[in-house]
Amino acid sequence: MVFFLAKRLIQSVFVMLAVAFLAFSLFRFVGDPVSQMTGVETSVQDQERLREDLGLNDPFAYQFARFTGDMLRGDFGFSYRTRQPVAEMIASRMPATLELGVVALLISLLVGIPAGVYTALRPRGFATQAILMITLVGVSIPTFVIGIMLIFFFGVQLGWLPTFGRGGTVNLGGWETSFLTVDGWRALILPALTLGVYQLTLTMRLVRAEMMEVMQSDYIRFATARGVPMGRLYFRHALANTMVPVITIIGLQFGGVIAFSIVTESVFQWPGMGLLFLESIRFVDIPVMGVYLVVIAFFFVLVNLIVDLLYVLIDPRLRISDVS
Partner 1 sequence: MRHYIRKSFVLGGALSLAAISVQAESFNWASTTDPQTMDPHAVNSTPVLSFLNNIYEGLVRRGQDMSIEPSLATSWEPLEGENGWRFHLREGVTFQDGAAFTSADVMFSYERASNEAADVRSWFSPVTDVRVIDDFTIDFVTNSPNPLFPSSIANFMILDFDWATANNAALPATDSENFATLNVNGTGPFTVASRDPGVKTVLTPNATWWDTPTHNVTEATFTPIGNAATGLAALLSGDIDFIEPIPLQDVAQVESRDGFRVIEGEETRVIMFGFGHEHDTLLYSNDVADVNPFQDPRVRLAAAHAIDIASIDRVLFRGKIEAASQLVPAGISGFSEAHQDRPAYDPDRAKELLAEAGYPDGFSFGLKCTNDRYINDEALCRAAASMFAAVGLDAQLSTGPVRDYWDQLRADDFDMYLLGWSPGTFDMEHPVRFLLHTQDDDARLGSWNFGNYSNARVDELLPLFQQELDPAARQGMIDELVAITQDEVAYIPLYTQPLIWAVKDNIDVTQRADNFFMLRWVTVN
Q: How far is the CB of 176 from partner 1 (least distance, A)?
A: 9
Torsions phi, psi of 282, nearest 5?
A: -60, -35
Q: Which stretch binds partner 1 (CB under 8 A): 15-23, 74-82, 117-125, 130-138?
A: 74-82
Residue 32 makes contact with partner 1 by CB under 8 A: yes
- Considering the complex, state which of residue 254 and residue 283 has its C-beta at the smaller distance from partner 1: 283
> Is position 82 an interface residue for partner 1 (rule: CB under 8 A)?
yes
Q: How many CB atoms lie within 10 A of CB 200?
A: 25
49 belongs to the binding site for partner 1 (CB under 8 A): yes
Best CA proximity match to 64, nearest among 103, 95, 38, 26: 26
Given the rule CB under 8 A, which of 101-109, 214-222, 275-283, 311-319 is the region that contacts partner 1?
A: 275-283
Choose, by CB under 8 A, the member of 23, 103, 151, 211 that binds partner 1.
151
Q: Which span (4-12, 48-56, 210-218, 303-311) binds partner 1, by CB under 8 A?
A: 48-56
Q: Which of 167, 137, 142 is nearest to 155 (CA)?
A: 167
Task: Please check whether residue 287 is in contact with residue 112, taking contact to mean a CB–CB distance below 8 angstroms.
Answer: no
Instruction: Determine which residue in the list 64, 118, 198, 268 makes contact with partner 1, applying CB under 8 A.
Output: 268
CB of 280 to partner 1, least distance (A): 10
Contact status: 29 vs partner 1 (CB under 8 A): yes
Quickly list DSSP for 80-149: TTT--BHHHHHHHHHHHHHHHHHHHHHHHHHHHHHHHHHHHHSTTSHHHHHHHHHHHHHHHS-HHHHHHH
Question: Cα–Cα distances in Å, from 31 out to 20, 36, 49, 102, 276?
Answer: 18, 9, 18, 34, 17
Site of interaction with partner 1 (CB under 8 A)? 29-32, 35-46, 49-50, 53-54, 78, 81-85, 89, 92, 148, 151-152, 155-156, 159, 162-165, 266-269, 271, 275-276, 278-279, 281-284
